[in-house]
Amino acid sequence: MFGTCGIRKIYSSYDKSEKTFTPSMAVRLGLALGTFLDMQGKREVIIGRDVRTTSKAIEYALVSGLMSSGCKVFTIGMVTTPTLCMSIDFLRADLGVMITASHNPPQYIGVKLFGPGGLGLSPEEEQSIEKIYQDRSFMSKAWYEQGSVSEVQRINETHVKKILKKTKFKATRNIKVLVDPGNGSGSHIGPMLLNRMGLKYITLNSQPDGTFPGRYSEPSEKNLKYLRHFVATSHEIDLGIAFDGDADRVVFVDETGLIIEPIRVLTFLAREYVKDKYPDPTKRINLSVATPVNSSGVIEHVLEPLGVKVYRTKVGDINVSLTMNEHHGFMGGENCGVYIQPEFSGHNGPDTLMAIVLLLKYLGKYDVKISELLEEIPEFSYSKGELHLKHDQIFSLENYKNIRDELIPLLENSGFSSFQETYVDGLHIRFNSGWILIRKSGTTPIMRLTVEGHNDAVASKIQEIGEKVIKKLIDIVDSD
């Protein structure tokens, strides 16, 4: 039921098999969530939704299930996922529910769950909720024990004010921005933020529309072709900004129209934070950031010499948040454009608005174009591929260690050294001029191979060695 980022399925009005997401499922999910909270003596829930045409139907059904189990529900309307995360502590709630399918096509709908502090629920908590759902062991409430629902107004204004106050933003450069919310949840709050920052800006695809007529919701290079072209040819725009459907991801475009790889942005933000807050290197004690195993190694390349520990996690912003929380990390993010910084956002979830303010704040310190500034953060050669297995199987730690035993000698023979291996999410080996990640898909018979090298030739060699080892140890479908 729960995947890497909550529940996400194609919507239908009714489906007995529950292969799609339906309002009747949402009612039962509401009952399961209410029961889960009641077992802990809790009952206050916030619900936000994105712009999708089906999100209201799911919202009303969820509210019904939650109220029937005695919950006190606050609805905050069409908002971004970061705004939902901020609202949990602001309204002193026990649980936040975001109705969204993030960057997926418009026929999809889903639910993300967040606890106090905007921290995503742990896998164990999700399993407990799913067991209640599957067993139908819902709490029964009498007619006089029913819950309530109320609507909270102007939550976007609250979010913007809190971020600007925490970041202490002051416009020091005349930066002009083009923002593309992709007709998603960021359509109102994105321009509102830029306006309150006192910046000049132009909007593209900023009318909320659950059919996403302007572009596909995922802010990929292909989907952002008009934004990129506009920025590159305008000669006035300094920065392009693009959100996904629920604005928990943001992608930045430099003045030449090129997408800036998100981990390079994360590395820049973390570097500037450390230099600003800890100018004395001797004071940089127990500083850390978190990012998944498939993120660029540029983050270690730049931050480790500054005394910052980089923790690698499983893919998914919830895993990044949990690792940051465990190690008291000051920042984290993913290569899809997720940024987490509790000190400036006020919560532990992803916050694209915070990332925008922080980037523009740090850009204001320098009188150079963003493409020139980020030349200090190198971009390594990165590639990923898939190998289809003849027979699906579960890969254990022993399986991955067998791959390691074949892989490292071949890498050594090719001149690589200083190996550091982890098994957080598959097999990840980092070495002197790159890294390799071998990871079995959790849902399909596919082995994913991701590599990075300090140049194209190095990356190509690492990928060649990785494919050779996989094909030697595992039955692979012939690509020919």
pLDDT of 173 reads: 85
Q: Do domains 7-153 and 262-353 have the same CATH topology?
A: yes
CATH number corresponding to 262-353: 3.40.120.10
Contacts of residues 8-11 at CB distance under 8 Å and 24 or more positions apart, as own/partner, are 8/101, 8/102, 8/104, 8/108, 8/109, 8/110, 9/108, 9/109, 9/110, 10/107, 10/108, 10/109, 11/52, 11/54, 11/58, 11/107, 11/108, 11/109
Tokens representing residue 277 in the block = 């807050």
Catalytic residue among 102, 295, 345, 433: 102
Say whether 185 is catalytic.
Answer: no
Strand ranges across the sheet with 287-292: 308-313, 287-292, 331-334, 338-340
> Model-level pTM greater than 0.85?
yes
CATH number corresponding to 381-473: 3.30.310.50
Q: Is 267 exposed, middle or buried (0-12, 13-18, 19+ CB in 10 A)?
A: buried
CA dist 241 and 227 (Å) reads: 9
CATH number corresponding to 158-248: 3.40.120.10
CA dist 303 and 294 (Å) reads: 17
pLDDT of 172 reads: 82
CA dist 202 and 14 (Å) reads: 42
Domain chopping of the chain, boundaries: 7-153, 158-248, 262-353, 381-473
- The pLDDT profile of the chain, 480 residues, written as one tens digit per residue, is 887 678 899 999 988 888 999 999 999 999 999 999 999 999 999 999 999 999 999 999 999 999 999 999 999 999 999 999 999 999 999 999 999 999 999 999 999 999 999 999 988 999 999 999 999 999 999 999 999 999 999 999 999 999 999 999 988 888 999 999 999 999 999 999 999 999 999 999 999 999 999 999 999 999 999 999 999 999 899 999 999 999 999 999 999 999 999 999 999 999 999 999 999 999 999 999 999 999 999 999 999 999 999 999 998 898 999 999 999 999 999 999 999 999 999 999 999 999 999 999 999 999 899 999 999 999 999 998 889 999 888 889 999 999 999 999 999 999 999 999 999 999 999 999 999 999 998 768 899 999 999 999 999 999 999 999 999 998 887 655
Q: Do residues 364 and 357 touch, judged by C-beta distance below 8 A?
A: no
pLDDT of 75 reads: 98
CATH architecture of 7-153: 3-Layer(aba) Sandwich (3.40)
pLDDT of 479 reads: 58
**Nearest alpha-carbon partner for 237 in 190, 183, 200:** 200
Place of tokens 């002197």: 432
pLDDT of 343 reads: 96
pLDDT of 16 reads: 85
